[in-house]
């Protein structure tokens, strides 16, 4: 960070000495002792001078009152990443001040450091905020690796995008965390996997906002036919790698596939499209399929992941299954909610109906003219930096973070009938059947192959 020069520094020059007829008084003000020019030339010089002065003054004033530009009033706030975000380096954000500048944050005088990068430039007690990624594995490790010092001004931040339905380890850190950053809307900082916001043709278009809820009434009057939809030859696809989830979604799909073809890609099916070629997989989906199963692994409040938002960027209708209120996160007639149908059989009949009726199917794309999907979460950096600089935010601490994170009503049990319950042996290769170990921890389903490492298995589920 650059050095600042004080007003008493000799670098400040007294320009009054450069002009004749001007003297500095005892009170420090400059006074004119003789006319600078004749009355005729006064107006000639004065008009542009005062114009420039006025414009310059207003510009400098607006510059100075902007939090992110007045570095004298807005000192650099420092943020420390305490542990790892899975295998993603620097939580996927980067380090230094660049992440805030690239995100074009209104307040960007913040700096990120990562403990994994080596020795810190300062003691942990000097950072303004410390982020803790709180998956099961991290919870266990943090109990043995906590900061040794803590200052009163620091904010310890609970950071997690996973749901409690897939992570069983209790978060026993009373009076430890100050703020929360999660997918839940009641978090101190809301970090969704994506969000739908107004597009260019939306009436009174608004700037991107993850809590945007100004849905229009569906307008089918000028519905544009999507050419590529007419050439699609397949109906339903699903990309999935975790076959054992709290939502028991595989059980639902197993029954659904009795009435309509479902192509399953990944560990739970017999088709392959690797994550390393994600873009190609979605292009294949866009070219060949009409519907995609955006099924969540947990039925928890507010929990909706990239499974929905990624596919909304393509000309495919998402079929959703989750615990979120979908009417809040997506426009009407932009998705098909499984829970609105009495059974997988009735859902299959409706999907077939849309397949045979192109006009009705195309109605699910009306919203694309007015909205756009944002899958970036850079806004979390902007919000965090802004909050660290906001002295009006009162002190806060979570006395019982476990009680906040995992109240009894936060996740609900799936309404899966026993007549199409999951037969685990049908989901694995014969050579692996004897190695499968299933553990049910409350509402959490955990699979292990071979030697069981409980903390590792829980921490790697997605």
Catalytic site residue 125? no
**Which structure tokens are listed for 127?**
């950072």
In 315-459, where does DSSP find H-type helix? 326-329, 344-356, 358-362, 379-389, 401-405, 454-459
Contact 91, 133 (CB under 8 A): yes
In this structure, the strands spanning 30-32 and 444-449 are: unpaired
Q: Residue 129: how many CB atoms within 10 A of its CB? A: 22
Match 């299959």 to its residue by tokens.
348
Alpha-carbon distances, residue 254 vs 238, 249, 269, 304 (angstroms): 12, 9, 11, 22
Spatial neighbors of 273 by CB under 8 A, at least 6 apart, are 239, 265, 266, 280, 281, 284
| DSSP assignments along 263-276, one per residue | EEESTTSSB---GG
Length of the chain: 462
**CA dist., res. 170 & res. 93, Å (int):** 27
In 9-125, where does DSSP find H-type helix? 39-65, 98-102
- Which residue out of 7, 141, 162, 451 is catalytically annotated? 162
Q: Residue 172: how many CB atoms within 10 A of its CB? A: 11
- Catalytic residue positions, numbered: 162
């Amino acid at each position: 960070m650059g050095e600042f020069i004080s007003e008493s520094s000799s670098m400040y020059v007294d320009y009054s000495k450069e002009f004749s007829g001007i003297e500095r008084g005892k009170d420090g003000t400059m006074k004119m002792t003789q006319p600078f020019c004749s009355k005729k030339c006064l107006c000639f010089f004065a008009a542009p001078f005062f114009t420039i002065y006025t414009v310059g003054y207003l510009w400098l004033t607006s510059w100075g009152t902007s939090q992110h530009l007045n570095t004298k009033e807005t000192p650099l706030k420092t943020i420390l990443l305490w542990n790892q975000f899975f295998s993603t380096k620097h939580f996927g954000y980067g380090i230094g001040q660049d992440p805030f500048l690239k995100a074009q944050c209104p307040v960007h005088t913040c700096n990120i450091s990562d403990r994994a990068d080596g020795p810190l430039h300062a003691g942990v007690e000097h950072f303004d905020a410390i982020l803790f990624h709180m998956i099961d594995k991290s919870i266990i490790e943090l109990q043995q690796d906590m900061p040794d010092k803590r200052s009163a001004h620091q904010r310890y931040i609970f950071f997690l995008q996973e749901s409690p339905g897939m992570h069983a380890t209790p978060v026993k850190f009373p009076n430890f965390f100050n703020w929360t950053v999660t997918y839940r809307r009641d978090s101190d900082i809301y970090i969704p996997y994506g969000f739908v916001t107004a597009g260019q043709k939306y009436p009174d278009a608004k700037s991107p906002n993850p809590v945007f809820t100004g849905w229009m009434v569906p307008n089918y009057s000028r519905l544009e036919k999507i050419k590529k939809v007419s050439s699609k030859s397949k109906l339903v696809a699903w990309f999935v790698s975790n076959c054992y989830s709290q939502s028991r979604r595989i059980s639902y799909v197993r029954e659904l596939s009795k009435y309509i073809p479902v192509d399953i890609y990944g560990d739970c099916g017999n088709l392959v499209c690797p994550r390393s070629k994600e873009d190609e997989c979605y292009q294949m989906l866009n070219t060949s399929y009409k519907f995609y199963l955006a099924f969540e692994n947990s039925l928890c409040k507010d929990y909706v992941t990239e499974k929905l938002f990624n596919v909304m960027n393509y000309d495919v209708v998402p079929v959703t299954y989750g615990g979120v209120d979908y009417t809040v996160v997506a426009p009407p007639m932009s998705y098909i909610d499984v829970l609105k149908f009495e059974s997988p059989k009735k859902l299959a009949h409706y999907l077939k109906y849309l397949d045979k009726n192109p006009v009705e199917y195309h109605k699910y794309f009306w919203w694309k003219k007015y909205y756009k999907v944002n899958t970036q979460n850079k806004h979390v950096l902007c919000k965090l930096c802004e909050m660290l600089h906001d002295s009006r935010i009162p002190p806060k601490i979570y006395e019982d973070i476990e009680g906040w994170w995992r109240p009894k009503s936060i996740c609900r049990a799936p309404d899966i009938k026993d007549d199409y319950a999951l037969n685990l042996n049908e989901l694995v290769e014969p050579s692996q059947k004897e190695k499968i170990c299933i553990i049910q921890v409350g509402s959490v389903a955990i699979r292990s192959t071979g030697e069981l490492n409980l903390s590792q298995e829980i921490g790697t589920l997605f």
